[in-house]
Amino acid sequence: MQYFESLSQFQIAGLVLQLVLLPFLFTTFRRWWWAKQSHQWPKVKGVVTKGLDFPISKIIDFIYTYELNGTTYTGKKPFFANSFKNLNQKKASGLIAKYVQGKQLTVFYNPSNPGISTLEPGRKDGVMEALLLLSILFSLGAISFYRPSLIVEIIEYVSTP
């Protein structure tokens, strides 16, 4: 308990920032890794069971199914993406036309976990940007925790006219 009482405000803020960002960083890195590895994944035939639809909220409503060794799996996103909210109308229209209900398609699945799949191997919209931002913020938290004097120096340098 004495250790936590000896920490400065910058160190506490840095520690909290790192703890909050760690799960997001891990999840985003995992998406990047799957997208990278998906080029080598085996493929199987699948079908779109619920066509792609982008409502006003831009949360995709999409389902495809594929069968592997007698087990049916479902996928809810056509590719690995950080977010689908920044799709413009042209890109959204292209995806809606590409993934209509009943369409037969090729599904690339993770051989070590067949429940993880993609329709467009290697595609990772927004994942690299999110990974970069999260890494910068995580590093800032680490600097704030391990070397708070550097943060103070930067603030003083920026705030002096």
Q: Where are the domains of the chain?
A: 21-145
Q: Quick one: residue 123, left, alpha or beta (phi over 0 = left, psi -120 to 50 = alpha)?
A: beta
Question: Which segments of the chain have a pLDDT < 50?
Answer: none
- Residues whose CB falls within 8 Å of the CB of residue 131, separated by 6 or more in sequence, listed in order: 25, 28, 29, 32
Q: How many CA atoms lie within 13 A of 5 on its CB side?
A: 2
What DSSP string runs through the chain? Answer: -HHHHT--HHHHHHHHHHHHHHHHHHHHHHHHHHHHHGGGS-EEEEEEEE-----TT-----EEEEEETTEEEEES-SSEES-STT--HHHHHHHHHHS-TT-EEEEEEETTEEEEEESSTT-EETHHHHHHHHHHHHHHHHHHHH-HHHHHHHHHHHH--
Express each pLDDT in 35-71 by its tens digit: 999 999 999 999 999 877 665 555 677 899 999 999 9
Q: What is the pLDDT of residue 75?
A: 92
